Amino acid sequence: MQSHSEPACLLIADIGGYTGYLAGVELDHAQDILADLMDTVVGGLRPRFRLAKLEGDAAFAYLLAESVDGSLLQDVVEGTYFAFRRRLRDIKQASRCECNACILIPSLDLKFVVHHGVVARHRIAGWEELVGSAVILVHRLLKNQVTEATGLQAYAMYTQDCVAAAGIDPDVQGLRHHVESTDIAGDVGLWLRDLEAAWVEEQASRRGTVTERDAVRTYVSETPAPPMLVWEYLTSPVRRPKWGPGVTSVEESSPSGRRGAGTVNHCMHGKDAVIEEILDWQPGRSWTTRNTMPMPGVPPLVMTDALELLPGGGTRVVTRVLRPRPKDRAAFEALFPMFEPMFIEAASGIVTALAEELERQASTADPEPVLPESGGRFLTQPVGDGVAAPQPVDSRGAGSS
């Protein structure tokens, strides 16, 4: 059965270098490593994107939407890449195996191709397939001349159609222009983000987070929602009024056109506004803001919302309020009790909003392909004399036909 055509954001995350990596390595450990890394990649894309299909060393995912929040899109892509790099590092540090598959882990990398276009959904034997010229194009673009032309190995490639649908200003945001010739769409205008450079910048950036030792107040809440969905609800101007106490709208001003450090939000409470300046921005992990209240005599509040992954995929949200300077301490102690109920209400409000979102997603979601599980043998078992051949995995899971 075929549904009507729908606009969608299409994304392929491809583990680069995997084909060459397989040459001469021990396949049992290589298979486990691929499954482990693919779990990290798909976990980073969800739930903003739904998994359409596993394609060997690539994941094809989609988001049905006529327009896309460009800041959130880039947060998801870069956050997934950062999670991939951290996982590579963790595997390398944790494994004591000296087989080629484990030694050559650092040779793997990740690239993304992101396009926006019209798709149709076919249901075959209970499973959904995306079809259309947009689907063909995003796959054609996976085989490209980016590395030859630019030297980039790890990158995010956004088509011009995607940039337009996401409201991204590529020049202001430092994306690099590129053109690929295709057999189905001719010359395609593209914009590239150097993910290796973004990773280096992320590692070197100063951390302005409020630590447990620095905090004068700490609030903790937990939700079964995954971190990137919590991140969206915490930071999106569209989502904030759904759970923020008294927030009627959020007016955002970002010099680069992308949400992040330096962005200033006017959180409107009727006619009054709390001025919120973003000081530190770690997508999917934490953000720190300086908040100026709409009344005289109240010192600015600096606070960090940190997200911690829980067993089972949920999230712990830890909000820490920075201890005031000595000269502001008396005013803080006198006035903060007025605002503390808002913090408590906000913690409860976002948990409720996320529960409603999870319920909505569950009621409308089609089944997704099942990810192969990693046996973790590269962490626990040295390679034996025999080399096990990888077993074929049906990405649609049990019961497929």
DSSP assignments along 330-385, one per residue: HHHHHHHHHHHHHHHHHHHHHHHHHHHHHHHHHHHPPP-PPPPPP--HHHH----S
Model confidence at 192: pLDDT above 60: yes
pLDDT band at residue 295 using 50, 70 and 90 as cut-offs: confident
**Averaged pLDDT of the chain:** 86
pLDDT of residue 50: 93
Give the range among 52-56, 185-189, 322-326 with minimum mean pLDDT: 52-56
pLDDT of residue 21: 64
pLDDT tens digits for 238-252? 999 999 999 999 999
Distance (Å, whole) CA 356 – CA 369 = 24
pLDDT of residue 359: 93
Distance (Å, whole) CA 12 – CA 398 = 24
Cα–Cα distances in angstroms (integers) from residue 188 to residues 78, 140, 166, 171, 185, in the given order: 23, 11, 17, 17, 7
Mean pLDDT comparison of 22-31, 100-109, 359-368, highest-scoring range: 359-368
CATH of region 207-363 = 3.30.530.20
In sequence order, the β-bridge partners of residue 215 are 322
Distance (Å, whole) CA 90 – CA 102 = 12
The predicted model scores a pTM of: 0.83
Task: Tell me the mean pLDDT in the region 127-137.
Answer: 91
Higher pLDDT, 366 or 61: 61
Helices (H) and strands (E) in the chain, counts: 11, 15
pLDDT of residue 56: 83
pLDDT of residue 338: 86
Stated length of the chain: 401
Model confidence at 205: pLDDT above 80: no
Distance (Å, whole) CA 163 – CA 157 = 10
- Percent of the chain whose predicted confidence (pLDDT) is above 90: 62
Instruction: Write out the residue limits of the CATH 3.30.530.20 domain(s) in the chain.
Output: 207-363
pLDDT of residue 389: 34
Mean pLDDT comparison of 125-129, 135-139, 256-260, 280-284, highest-scoring range: 135-139
Higher pLDDT, 44 or 369: 44
Full DSSP string of 223-247: ESS-HHHHHHHHH-TTTGGGTSTT-
Task: Tell me the mean pLDDT in the region 327-336.
Answer: 89
Structure tokens at 36: 């482990």
Instruction: Write out the residue limits of the CATH 3.30.70.1230 domain(s) in the chain.
Output: 5-201
> Does domain 5-201 match CATH 3.30.70.1230?
yes
- 221 touches 185 (CB < 8 A): no
Cis-peptide, bond into residue 296, ω within 30° of zero: no
Distance (Å, whole) CA 273 – CA 294 = 6
Question: How many CB atoms lie under 10 A from the CB of residue 284?
Answer: 23
